[in-house]
Structure formats: C-alpha cells, structure tokens
Structure 1
Amino acid sequence: MFYQEAIEYIKNIERSGSDYGIERMRELLDLLGAPDRHLKFVHIAGTNGKGSVSAYLTSVLKEAGYKVGTYNSPSVFCYNERWLINGNPLSNEDVAKYLTAVRECIESEQILRNAFGISEFKPTAFEIETAVAMLAFFDKECDVCVLETGLGGRWDATNAIEDKVLSIITPICLDHCALLGNTLGEIASEKAAIIKDEVVTCNQPPEVMEQLKRPFALKDGKKEYRKANVVVCKEPKFLRGNLDGQVFSYDGKEYEISMLGKHQLVNAAIAICAVEELNKKHFDISENALKVGLKNTIWKARLQVVKNAKEEFNITIPQDKVLVFDGSHNPQGATTLANAIKDLFKNKRVHLVLGILKDKDVKGICTILAPLANRITCITPPSPRAMQKEELKCIVAPLCKGECSMQDDIKTAVQNALNGDCDVTILCGSLTLFSDLKSNE
C-alpha cells in the first residue's frame, strides 16, 4: 500500500469500533514473528501525564546514547507522531510499509480461518497500530521502547507486551468512567494491571496506592502471586520560572525544564525516579544526560507557548500577544490549566478558544476554566464524539465574565482571538483540535 491507501485502511478499521482484550493482540504479534520479544520496554499508564513522562524519558534516553522507540496516542498534529524513533515520527514510507505488513498478515490469517470455519480474526485499529510500533521498533533496532497505554491498562493492547524493564503509573483521576470504573480504586485497579515487577509512581490517593501494592499474578497462567516493588518519587520543589520554563530541585539537585505548569514538576520527578531505577537495571544514564534531556523535552499541546505559529499554522501572533495550546480534557487537567493561567498570566486578559468532546465531563471542565476567561469562542472539535459549539455555548456563557461567541473554523477562531483585545489566547479542551488546525494550513 502507498501511504494514503494505508491511512484509508486504518480509518476503515476505526469505523468498525473497538473492543478490548489482549489475547487477540498477543496472537497478532506472534503471527508477525513476535518482534516485541526482542525489545526492552518501559510501560506507562495513568490518567494525566503519560505523554509528558514518555517525552521526558525519550529525551533523556536519547541524550544518554540509546536509540529510543516511543509509542503514544492520540497524535497531536499528524498521524505519524504516534510512532517516534529518537523523538522523530516515522516517515510516510515506513508507516505504509509496516501497515502493509500487518494488513497482509491479518488477511492471510482470515483466509486460513475461513477455510477451516474458525471464528473471524479482526484486530482493532489500535491493535494494528500497536503491531506497527513493534515491527518498526524491531526493524529500527531500538535499544529501549517507551510505551503509553491507550486506555486503562488491564485490557489495553499494549499490555500484551509481557517482558517489561519498568512500569510507571502517572497521576490517576476520574476519567473514562464508563469503561474503567466510577471510583479511583476501580480505575487504579485497571491501570495497575500493567505492573509486572516494579512500578514507579508519585504520591497518589490512598485508594490508588492500595491497588498498586496489591499482589499480581505471574505470567504464563501460573497461579502464583507476588507484590510489586512500588517506588514513589520524591517531592519536587519549585524554585523559579517564566514563560521559557521552570527550575526545581529534586533530592537536593537542581533541574530545569522547558514545559510549563507546576504539574510538570511531578511528571519530571517521575521521570527522574524512573531513570534512577533504570540505572539499577544496568542502564547507563549520566546525570548530565538526565539534566540535558529534561531541559530539551518538548511535548506539544501541553501548556505549549507557541513560538512559530506563522511557519507551522499560518497564524500571525501580534507583538506582545501570547498563544497557548493545551489539550487538557478532564477536570484535573482543566485545574492544571487554570492554575497556570493564575500563575503565568495574572492581570492579563485571557481569551479561550474552547472545544470539548461530549463524552467528557464538559460541565466540570467549563466550571473550572470559564470564570477565568474575559472572552470565550466555542468551536466544534473535528470528532464524531464532539459536543456541538451551540450546546457548549449554552454551558459556558453563564460562567464567562465577558462575551461568549461561536466560530465554525478553528484557525479563524484563533486568529480572531489573537487580533482582539485580550493579551493571551488559549486553544484548549481536546487534543483533537490541533490536528485540524494543522490540516487547515
């Protein structure tokens, strides 16, 4: 397949919907020759911070001289971003090549099953994309792979990977409740299922820690249970910061990061703790590689102050104006964004360009963010799960202290906001907003 044909193929699979489980994923990997069994994995689950922690680790490991494969979702600006080699997306040619290999494998298995009257073999889009990651990382001879779960942990396709160097659990809060559970304990139980031996985490609520410390079953169907070694990172201490980044101390040492928001100190602390544990497992990551890697880490659409909007999106940022992208999509993420607005943009006029998916806690997000805005423009995200801008406006208008309007086109909404009377424009509410912004260049 050529690239566009490969993209159409995966889109058609996506339309079939998803069901969750790891047996089919394991079967697909084995049919492909089990490329994952030749690789080393750091596996990350959690509600918030997975992408940031994976970005920190990717940057640090790369700085230490390792070839790093990174698998995360959803993509922000382009489809290929979900597969990274040393921080760079796979090329269109590589994506087409690996998707073709997976498709041919699936279709051969389907023909065989049809011949013997066996049940159909229909991997989901996420399972196919996970298989692409394994093929690519094996083919590119990656030294270590950083995997981010798609949803939950227990039945996530990435959990078919059995041999993990380290598991990481980032902060857990209520999200995807219909699938994962209605309490922190239930959600933590699903995410803790990725743990195979040792897990690095941060300070979590008691009901979460209880689940992380519960005995887990050993692999290969053995009825043996063992408690994981739970390593909790130390508390980072904020020292100073501005729009270019922030400096903090961890265990008596000073570190600098470019990403904004106090929550990033926790994400960076998790990454530092993970590096310490990896070094105990015969990795060789120097203190200099750790510091340089952390400072160089960029994670798009996470409190990102946009510097090159004209080149990337054909958006003009007037002098003395600031444009921020943030993909927070639950109340905890909205609280993080709200705190950043209070810390970084105190006494500044703020214009939110807001779009949210309807299966999120829309009212919770709006209650946190809308009162901080001087103006709000409601937009409809490019997703079948989107809340329509008219419905969103009905929710946010009573909460906003200024004018609340609607706009059909995301880029137009952002440019109009930048040209208006507010100092700061923030495009936020869903990660799906940003791919549309890029595609409408």
Structure 2
Amino acid sequence: MPMNYEEAIKYIKSTNSNGMVLGLERITNLLHYVGNPHKKLKFVHVAGTNGKGSTVSFLSHILESSSLKVGVYSSPALTDFTEIIKVNNKCISKEDVVKLTTLLQVAIKQMEKDELDLPTEFEITTVMSFLYFLSMDCDICLLEVGLGGLLDSTNVIDTCELAILTSISFDHVRVLGNTLTEIAKHKCGIIKDGVDVLTCDQDNEVLEVIEQEVRRKKARLHYSELPVGLKADSISLDGQTFTMNGMGTLKINLAGDYQIYNAALAISAAHILREKGYKGITTETIRQGLINCKWPCRFECISKKPVIVVDGGHNAKGIDVLVSSIYKHFKDKKIVFIMGVLADKDYMHMLNKVTPLAKEFVCITPPNPRALDAGNLSEIISKEYKLKAVPKDSLEEAVDYVLANTTDKDIIVAFGSLYYVGLIKNIFINRLKK
C-alpha cells in the first residue's frame, strides 16, 4: 500500500531517533544510493548566524525575476514541511514529498542491510531537495546551512558558484564552540577551493578567520555593497526604501531595519553571479526581485489595530536587531510581548534587552523538545525583572489572552523560536477574522 503525505512526514520525523549528528559520512552514503543528484546541480551556499533566510529569499526572487529556475532549501518550516523545499518560490507538492520519501526509504533500507549508519532527518530532507531540484531542472540552487557549515549536511556539495557568509555571532555554542573564532571556523567550512566568497560587515575576529580561510583555499573574497548613508531613506511597518550607488532608490516590503543590509548582500551576490555568466540579471530584475520578496515572521506586521508584529529573533544578535527595530518604529511605547524560546539559547541576554521595553509578557512553550518551559520562563521574568509574566499552556490560549486583555492602542510583539512564531501568526490571523 503506497504511503500518503501524513505517513511520509511521520516516517521522516521518525528518523529523529537517529539524533542530530554532524558529519558527512551518512549523507554521502545516502546520496550514493540515489545516484548523487548534487553532482549535477549548481549551488549558492549560504552560512551565518543571522540573515541567512532573508538573504536567500531576496536572492531567489532576484534570480527568478531574471528568468532563472531557482531551487531553495531553507529551514525550519514555519507551518508545513513543504515550505523548506521550493522552486521559484513555490513549495514542493505533497505528492512529490510522498514520491521522494518512498524512493529514499528504499535507499535507507538498503543502507541498513549494508550495516551503514542511518541518516538523520535533516540529511534525508537535504537529499530530498537535491532530487527535487534535479527533477525540476533548476538552473541554480540556493542552500541555507542548517547548523554551522563545515560538518553540516548541505556541505556535502563539491563546489558552488558562490559561498555567502552572513552576519556571524554567538549561537549553538555547545556544538560550534564558545568563541567567535571557533564559530567562524565552522561557518567558513563552506568555502571550497577557488570559489567566490561574499561576506558583509563582520567582527574583526570573524573577518580574520574568513580572510585566512579564503587565502588557504585560494578563493576570491568579495565584500557586500552597502546602502548609501548606511540607512533606509524611508521606513514603515509595510516596508522601506534605500539607495544603492548606481541603482538609485530601491524598495523592499520587509520592515526590520536590518533587512536593507540583507537586501544589499543579495544585490552583491546577484552582481557576482552576473559576472560569472548569469546574464539575465539586470538592474531592473534586481529591483523587481526585491519588491517581490516576501519573508514571513521577520519583523512582520500582521495587524494594525492592534499592532501585532511577529519576529523569529531567537539568539543574541537576533534580539539586538529586533530591539533596534522596535525602538525605530515604536519609540518609547511599552510592548506586550509573547515569548517562547529554546532552553539552549541565551534567553537571559534576550530578557535583558527586551524587558526595558515591556509592559507585560505572555510566555509559551515552543513545540520543540529543546523548548524552555513557559512556567519557568514566566517565573524568571517575574522574579528577576519584577514584570507581569503569564504562562499559557497553548498558543491558542496565549493569543486569546492577549486579544482579551489589550486594546487597539496596544502593541503586541510575538518573538522567539521560529518553531512557534509561524504557528502563532496563523492563530492571530484566524482570530482577527472572526
């Protein structure tokens, strides 16, 4: 009996029991059993701590506007598994997920018979993306690193058209190391011999590692172009405009003040790819791609009355830019925060940053085994910061509580783990329709 979509997802999730183990041996073996599809594709590889997803989204829209067929592998999904694999910004179909899962299941059973270590969930989905991109005859594929770079499953590729290093800061310190140098070394693992490498403004300690690895691999280092004046020309909750030398005024529909830097990084990537032979990329296709770009849950305003913003800020640097955006848009107004984080994140740094802006907290437990319990989070907030903090047992209860206890003049910001902000966004939207 053929499996259905729900059974396919259940099978993929069941491989979580294999654990999250860095390394390339398992995925290399799995790729061998399915014909090494990655060797027939062209890639842009993107690593970094923050800005990966937004940069990939900007670049994919630019390339699509340039008449290219563009595959994107980016995680985690906000609401449905299909979101992690896209071609021309259209999610993989559930039918294709079933078909590819069936093929991969056969390969994994053979690996088991051959007494090989079995692949993890992320390794399976990475191989699924390669198979799908090949079947769709993609011109170029954008790969977002899952964790680190050097030993991440996506680093199984032999080479790439361009390696992009977005902002690198502290995250996943238990796995990647507790210094910026150690973390940067992992991220720089995506730099292959002789490739083009693009990076942005980085801490000096990080930049030293990047430059050293570029020299070692005889690669070519490029630095991102920057907006004129290093700031937006105009901002609103619906988007912003900024100026780039030689391109005039550009518009994006993302509100976070850091997004102009992500857009500039994507523009620089597009210019490099054009020089490498992707001639369909023009100033006009870049302009149009930026306008077309949508990237949910990154300082996304989903309601004006009351103002409701959802943001996937889940580490120290992410919270810094969230707070900067809040100050820019809401100045001295107090915020009702909905907060849910993973226990292995630096949530005390997050609280130190957001509590001065807070009117009240509603705490939830993200649907993830690594989540910090809502009760524990609310206890920390009330004891350490003397602020009202209400724990809720479900996302629905959190939304209902907030809507019942705020007015149209309030500002609500839901932030933290991407494992919950996409879900809570949809709950808010459905409640506000009633």
Question: What displacement does 1:234 show?
Answer: 2.3
1:56 counterpart residue number: 58
Q: Secondary structure at the match of 1:214?
A: helix
2:218 counterpart residue number: 227
Which string of whole-angstrom CA distances, capped at 9 and with x for unpartnered residues, describes residues 376-427 of structure 1?
1111111111111111012222565753222222133124323414521111
2:277 counterpart residue number: 282
1:210 counterpart residue number: 208
In structure 1, give the amino acid aligned to 2:208: E
Which string of whole-angstrom CA distances, capped at 9 and with x for unpartnered residues, describes residues 98-119 of structure 1?
11111111112322x1xxxxx4
Q: Secondary structure at the match of 1:376?
A: strand
Equivalent pairs: percent with the same residue?
38
Mean CA deviation greater in 235-244 or 136-145: 235-244
Q: Secondary structure at the match of 1:248?
A: strand
Choose the corresponding residue for 1:150, options 142, 146, 151. Answer: 146
Give the unaligned 5+ runs of structure 1: 114-118, 218-224, 308-318
Distance 1:401 1:289, change over 3 A: farther
Which string of whole-angstrom CA distances, capped at 9 and with x for unpartnered residues, describes residues 128-170 of structure 1?
0000000000001111100000000000000001121100000
Take 2:52 and 2:395, find their aligned partners in 1: how far apart are those partners? 26
Mean CA deviation greater in 393-402 or 74-83: 393-402
Q: Could you tell me whether the CA contact under 8 Å between 1:367 and 1:399 is conserved in 2?
A: no
In structure 2, give the amino acid aligned to 1:265: I
Question: What displacement does 1:300 show?
Answer: 1.1
Choose the corresponding residue for 1:291, options 258, 264, 287. Answer: 287
In structure 2, give the amino acid aligned to 1:165: E
Take 1:50 and 1:177, find their aligned partners in 2: how far apart are those partners? 18
Please tell me whether residue 161 in structure 1 is matched to residue 157 in structure 2.
yes
Which string of whole-angstrom CA distances, capped at 9 and with x for unpartnered residues, describes residues 275-331 of structure 1?
010001000201111011112211111111115xxxxxxxxxxx7311111111111
Take 1:277 and 1:20, find their aligned partners in 2: how far apart are those partners? 31
In structure 1, give the amino acid aligned to 2:222: V
In structure 2, give the amino acid aligned to 1:245: G
Choose the corresponding residue for 2:338, options 342, 346, 353. Answer: 353
Aligned length: 417
Q: Could you tell me whether the CA contact under 8 Å between 1:371 and 1:400 is conserved in 2?
A: no
Choose the corresponding residue for 1:336, options 321, 336, 340. Answer: 321
Q: Could you tell me whether the CA contact under 8 Å between 1:414 and 1:427 is conserved in 2?
A: no
Question: What displacement does 1:72 show?
Answer: 0.7
In structure 1, give the amino acid aligned to 2:295: W
Q: Could you tell me whether the CA contact under 8 Å between 2:243 and 2:250 is conserved in 1?
A: yes
Please tell me whether residue 201 in structure 1 is matched to residue 221 in structure 2.
no
Please tell me whether residue 370 in structure 1 is matched to residue 364 in structure 2.
no
2:365 counterpart residue number: 380
Distance 1:233 1:36, change over 3 A: same
Q: Could you tell me whether the CA contact under 8 Å between 2:214 and 2:220 is conserved in 1?
A: no
Distance 1:45 1:363, change over 3 A: same
Take 1:137 and 1:399, find their aligned partners in 2: how far apart are those partners? 50
Take 2:338 and 2:38, find their aligned partners in 1: how far apart are those partners? 41
Question: What displacement does 1:243 show?
Answer: 1.1
Q: Could you tell me whether the CA contact under 8 Å between 2:379 and 2:389 is conserved in 1?
A: no
Q: Secondary structure at the match of 1:137?
A: helix
1:129 counterpart residue number: 125
Q: Secondary structure at the match of 1:260?
A: coil
Take 1:323 and 1:226, find their aligned partners in 2: how far apart are those partners? 46
Question: What displacement does 1:181 show?
Answer: 1.0
Q: Could you tell me whether the CA contact under 8 Å between 1:213 and 1:228 is conserved in 2?
A: no
In structure 2, give the amino acid aligned to 1:23: E
Take 1:216 and 1:160, find their aligned partners in 2: how far apart are those partners? 19
Distance 1:439 1:418, change over 3 A: closer
1:426 counterpart residue number: 413
Q: Secondary structure at the match of 1:43?
A: strand
Distance 1:215 1:386, change over 3 A: closer
Give the unaligned 5+ runs of structure 2: none
Distance 1:415 1:291, change over 3 A: farther
Aligned-CA RMSD value: 1.8
Take 1:360 and 1:265, find their aligned partners in 2: how far apart are those partners? 26
Q: Could you tell me whether the CA contact under 8 Å between 2:45 and 2:143 is conserved in 1?
A: yes
Take 2:178 and 2:81, find their aligned partners in 1: how far apart are those partners? 31
Mean CA deviation greater in 370-379 or 40-49: 370-379
Take 2:26 and 2:93, find their aligned partners in 1: how far apart are those partners? 27
Q: Could you tell me whether the CA contact under 8 Å between 1:41 and 1:146 is conserved in 2?
A: yes
1:267 counterpart residue number: 262
Q: Could you tell me whether the CA contact under 8 Å between 1:366 and 1:395 is conserved in 2?
A: no
Mean CA deviation greater in 42-51 or 249-258: 249-258
2:37 counterpart residue number: 35
1:389 counterpart residue number: 374
Take 2:333 and 2:133, find their aligned partners in 1: how far apart are those partners? 45
In structure 2, give the amino acid aligned to 1:290: I
Choose the corresponding residue for 1:172, options 168, 172, 175. Answer: 168
Q: Secondary structure at the match of 2:72?
A: strand
